[in-house]
Structure 1
Amino acid sequence: MKKEKKSALLADNCPLICETYKDIISKIDSNHCFNVDITYNCDGAFDIIKRTIEKETSLNFVILDLKLLPSENRKILSGEDLGVFVRKLLPNTKIIISTECNDNYRIHNIFKSLNPEGFLIKRDLTAEELKNAINNVINNIPYYSKTVLKLLRKEISNDFSLDSIDRQILYEISIGSKMKDMPNYIPLSVASIEKRKRHLKKIFNVKDKGDRELILIAKEKGFI
């Protein structure tokens, strides 16, 4: 029986995790033959996505870590931003998020921005769990690990969503960028960026006039 060919992209900043995932994928079943690309940062992942489009080939699914190294041009700051590009450029590609983040706000935000076919928390992961997730996703069945399902059942006190501009602002603040320089990287005026920052402080319930508390909470919730 001829094996059905499938292609995948693994994007995680840890080479060992990528190699482990690739090994597990190669042993999923005898009916599929997987061609797997690996990358450790946003630039590498985006290059593979562009190559897929240029060669008019398919990419069946991607496994994205949220905390990927940002692109050099600061346009893609995380796995979430990368997922947005996948949704736009490769609408038939399935997205599986694999992350250490287990914050309720963050997970709800990912569902709003990406609505991934698979969502895995790394502390839940076993080889069998990953196999089940991939088998489900390639057969058009969503798969969420137990921690994700538990968090989705919880009521959250504030229903909000951060867009890519909000995340860019948080990133620039976290690396110490000056407010006057931010319009060089963010398509907003200084006044608009300041307004966004005030709103971010409000939704994160930050009382401190400085930015330290905002960044600490944003990191804690996995937005940076």
Structure 2
Amino acid sequence: MRKEKLSALIADNCPLVCETYRNIASKITKKTSNFSFNIDITYNCNGAYDIIKRTIEKETKLDFVVLDLKLKPSSNRKILSGEDLGFLIRKLLPNTKIIVVTDCNDNYRIHNVIKSLNPESFLTKSDLTSDEFKNAIKNVANNIPYYSKTVLKLLRKEVSSSFIIDTIDRQILYELSIGSKMKDMPNYIPLSAASIEKRKRHLKKVFNVKDKGDRELILVAKEKGYI
């Protein structure tokens, strides 16, 4: 029986991890599956954007994206993470299925990604084995959502706030983390300085940060995987 050819993008900042994912996916297609993969690999947001752009320009398809949340930001500061790439994929390639793989195990962060991105599969690296990765691919290929056990456990827990950290919020956190001054932020973020300051105050409230400065906010945001 002829196998269906599927295209996939693996985006993770570690080359070894990317090669491991590709090898596992290749082993799936050699055995029982009725599909095979043509796989691209990238280690940062710039590379991923180039592949997305090429897919659109050539009017081809991108069936799967395996996406790490912690990717190196794009050089123009417009795509700051794997989550931003996910938003872009949802907008430009709505039929592409997203498998999120992350080392983050923060309850609020997991809920936030589910609400904002709604990936077809969500795996934590603490759960990740070759069998777990195979199961995710097989299920998603058959239109069955697949979440790893840690994600499912966290989803059962209540979160203290329904506030979603959006792209603008993450841009503010990123600019703070690299030492940008508030007066300069409107050059990179499409808001006035007053609106950015208001958002920053709200972020401190959401993260329960009491410090008047920004250091504690940056540390908490990094701990929760937003930077």
Category of TM-score, reference length = shorter chain:
over 0.9
Name the aligned partner's letter for residue 144 of structure 1: Y
Q: How does 1:25-64 map to 2 (within 5 A)?
A: 25-29=25-29, 30=31, 31-64=34-67
Find out whether 1:148 has 2:158 as its counterpart.
no
Query: Distance between the aligned counterparts of 1:199 and 1:32, measured in 2?
Result: 47
Q: How does 1:10-29 map to 2 (within 5 A)?
A: 10-29=10-29
1:115 paired residue number: 118
Query: Aligned Cα RMSD in Å?
Result: 0.7
Which range moves more in the overlay, 156-165 or 5-14? 156-165
- Please point out which of 75, 79, 102 is paired with 1:76: 79
SS of the equivalent of 1:57 reads coil
Could you list the runs of 5+ residues in structure 1 that have no partner in the other structure? none
Q: CA deviation at 1:4?
A: 1.1
Name the aligned partner's letter for residue 10 of structure 1: I
Query: Distance between the aligned counterparts of 1:63 and 1:156, measured in 2?
Result: 26
Name the aligned partner's letter for residue 163 of structure 2: F
Identity percentage of aligned residues? 79
SS of the equivalent of 2:126 reads helix
Q: How does 1:75-114 map to 2 (within 5 A)?
A: 75-114=78-117
- Please point out which of 201, 206, 222 is paired with 2:204: 201
2:130 paired residue number: 127
Name the aligned partner's letter for residue 125 of structure 2: K
Query: Distance between the aligned counterparts of 1:47 and 1:113, measured in 2?
Result: 23
Find out whether 1:192 has 2:187 as its counterpart.
no
Q: CA deviation at 1:159?
A: 2.1
Deviating beyond 3 angstroms after TM superposition, the runs of 4 or more aligned structure 1 residues are none
Query: Distance between the aligned counterparts of 1:192 and 1:2, measured in 2?
Result: 56
TM-score of the superposed pair, with normalisation by structure 2:
0.97
Q: CA deviation at 1:156?
A: 1.5
Could you list the runs of 5+ residues in structure 2 that have no partner in the other structure? none
SS of the equivalent of 2:105 reads coil
2:140 paired residue number: 137
User: What are the superposed Cα offsets for residues 162-197 of structure 1, whole Å, 9 maximum, x if unpaired?
Assistant: 110000000000000011110110001111111110
Find out whether 1:211 has 2:224 as its counterpart.
no
Name the aligned partner's letter for residue 182 of structure 2: M
SS of the equivalent of 2:7 reads strand
SS of the equivalent of 2:28 reads coil
Name the aligned partner's letter for residue 132 of structure 2: E
